[in-house]
């Protein structure tokens, strides 16, 4: 039984580590923003939202946002993606400005992604829902850019 649950437990541990980094953003803003972006994209993959491996952060945010019904969450997601781009390509001051709001932005985005997953779960059978939870797609996704 433990072997069957290990992907879900690994995903839960990864999420906890990333949420901790986002909550303590002032100590390492770059790590916090990268962790928030990685968690948002993993949550989206786990919910069944996909994008091309060639997509930029903005393209990925647009793909995720197209599935969400929450304007505030969409705005939060784009702020996190802009912070990731700024951090990655030299706009450290913009990235640093996000650190105070990062936990709230990430929470908003994750809540909307979770709402999307629950909406689409209604169209799936019980086995498909269990499979999504026990074998998260994010653990097996190939990434074009390494994420923490």
**End-to-end alpha-carbon separation of the chain, Å?**
28
Packed helices 2-23 and 29-47: angle between N→C axes, nearest 10 degrees: 140
Residues in Cβ contact with 117 at an 8 Å cutoff, skipping those fewer than 6 apart: 46, 47, 48, 132
Q: What is the pLDDT of residues 87-97, one digit of tens each?
A: 888 877 777 78
| Alpha helices (runs of H) in the chain, residue ranges in sequence order | 2-23, 29-47, 57-65, 71-89, 92-98, 102-121, 126-134
Q: What is the pLDDT of residues 35-84, one digit of tens each?
A: 999 999 999 999 999 999 899 999 999 999 999 989 999 999 999 999 99
Q: Are 102 and 25 in contact (CB under 8 A)?
A: yes
Q: What is the pLDDT of residues 91-133, one digit of tens each?
A: 777 777 888 899 999 999 999 999 998 888 766 677 777 777 7
């Amino acid at each position: 039984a433990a072997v069957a649950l290990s992907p879900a437990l690994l995903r839960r541990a990864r999420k906890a580590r990333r949420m901790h980094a986002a909550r303590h953003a002032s100590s390492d803003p770059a790590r916090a923003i990268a962790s928030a972006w990685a968690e948002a994209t993993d949550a989206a993959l786990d919910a069944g939202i996909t994008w091309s491996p060639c997509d930029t952060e903005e393209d990925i945010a647009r793909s995720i946002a197209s599935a969400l019904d929450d304007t505030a969450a969409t705005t939060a997601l784009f702020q996190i993606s802009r912070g990731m781009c700024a951090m990655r390509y030299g706009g450290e001051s913009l990235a640093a400005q996000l650190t105070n709001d990062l936990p709230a932005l990430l929470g908003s985005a994750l809540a909307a992604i979770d709402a999307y997953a629950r909406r689409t779960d209604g169209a799936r059978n019980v086995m498909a829902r269990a499979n999504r939870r026990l074998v998260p797609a994010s653990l097996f996704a190939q990434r074009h850019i390494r994420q923490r």
